[in-house]
Amino acid sequence: MTEHLTGDAAEVWAAINAVYAAFLAGDPVTADAHLHPDVTIWDSEHVPLVVGLGGLAALRAARPAAGEGPRVRAIEAGEPVVDVWDDVALLRHTLVVRFHGGHPDETVRNTSVWRRVGGRWLAVHNHEDVLAR
């Protein structure tokens, strides 16, 4: 399905998938390595705009502790559409988030803006939209 992605578009797609893999591994340091320090995020479960890696760390700290809510067991990213203009890229894709313990799956639409900084693609904005069941 992603065979159509080449060059910069494939690099951006690989970067977002590395973020998801790091999330599943419980490794925020690796996930954050793909984010610009001033990233902005519209999180699907948090109303105010998250600003910067410090804001993201505060959001993570405010989430329920392990065992206090549904735990994600898999993230399946698909349907990527990537446009690249020089050092800026726009990625649109879907996610199916699967949980442990019988919690229903969530389908998420995701849009992110990426910027090439020092030869690496970093997310500068991410917007998640959970679809109603």
22 burial (CB, 10 Å; 0-12 / 13-18 / 19+) is: middle
Q: Assess if residue 109 is contained within a domain.
A: yes
In percent, the amount of the chain with pLDDT more than 90 equals 83
Q: Assess if residue 86 is contained within a domain.
A: yes
Question: How many angstroms separate the CA atoms of 76 and 45, rounded?
Answer: 19
Q: Assess if residue 2 is contained within a domain.
A: no
Look at 38-47, 77-86, 120-129 and tell me which has the smallest mean pLDDT: 38-47
Q: Assess if residue 111 is contained within a domain.
A: yes
The CATH number of the domain holding residue 96 is 3.10.450.50
The token pair that represents 77 in the structure block: 């990213």
pLDDT in tens, 20-79: 999 999 999 999 999 999 999 999 888 999 999 999 999 999 987 666 678 899 999 999
For 31, list phi and psi in degrees, rounded to 5: -60, -45
What is the per-residue pLDDT for 67? 62
* DSSP run (H or E) holding 52: helix 52-62
Q: Is the pTM of this model over 0.75?
A: yes
Q: Assess if residue 1 is contained within a domain.
A: no
Range of the domain at 76: 7-130
Number of domains in the chain: 1
